[in-house]
């Protein structure tokens, strides 16, 4: 797991103009669990942050992370990642750690499965 986190940090660093500092890397946290995504019926509904849910944006729900937190979500089965912003609370189903917008779910190829095992880094 430690090497996986280091790998993700390197990927992010390579894809950005500025590499994360040592203090930023030291403060990163990771969780592994299941991700789901919002059903179409939530389109345009108010989220816990007060913003309207938009399935085309890269957003997510987490039970405890602060609104505005950027999270890297990696689908463990295929290695695909997406960066999302936390703007809602949930999921409220045991074993799930994050609910993704439809766009984010599409980015990591989880639409067919509906629920996939992921690692999140924040």
Query: CATH no. for residue 89?
Result: 2.40.40.10
Instruction: Please give the tally of structural domains in the chain.
Output: 1
Say if 3 falls within a structural domain: no
Q: Element (H or E) spanning 51, and its range?
A: none
Percentage of residues of the chain with pLDDT beyond 90: 78
Cα separation, 11 vs 6, whole angstroms: 9
pTM of the model: 0.80
Q: From 46, 6, 48, select the one nearest 30 (Cα to Cα).
A: 6
Q: How much is the pLDDT for 8?
A: 52
Cα separation, 83 vs 103, whole angstroms: 11
Say if 108 falls within a structural domain: yes
Mean pLDDT score, 77-98: 97
Say if 46 falls within a structural domain: yes
Q: How much is the pLDDT for 26?
A: 72
Say if 6 falls within a structural domain: no
Model confidence pLDDT, tens digit, residues 38-68 = 999 999 999 999 999 999 999 999 999 999 9
Say if 15 falls within a structural domain: no
Q: Which domain, by its residues, includes 73? A: 29-121
Q: From 114, 105, 101, select the one nearest 80 (Cα to Cα).
A: 105
Say if 24 falls within a structural domain: no
């Amino acid at each position: 797991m430690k090497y996986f986190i280091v790998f993700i940090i390197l990927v992010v660093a390579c894809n950005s103009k500025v590499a994360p500092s040592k203090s930023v890397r030291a403060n990163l946290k990771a969780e592994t669990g299941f991700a789901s995504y919002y059903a179409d019926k939530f389109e345009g509904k108010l989220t816990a942050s007060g913003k309207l849910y938009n399935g085309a944006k890269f957003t997510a729900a987490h039970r405890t992370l602060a609104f505005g937190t950027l999270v890297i979500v990696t689908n463990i089965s295929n290695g695909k990642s997406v960066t999302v912003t936390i703007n809602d609370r949930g999921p409220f189903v045991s074993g799930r750690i994050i609910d993704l917008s439809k766009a984010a779910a599409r980015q990591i190829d989880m639409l067919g499965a509906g629920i996939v095992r992921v690692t999140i880094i924040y």
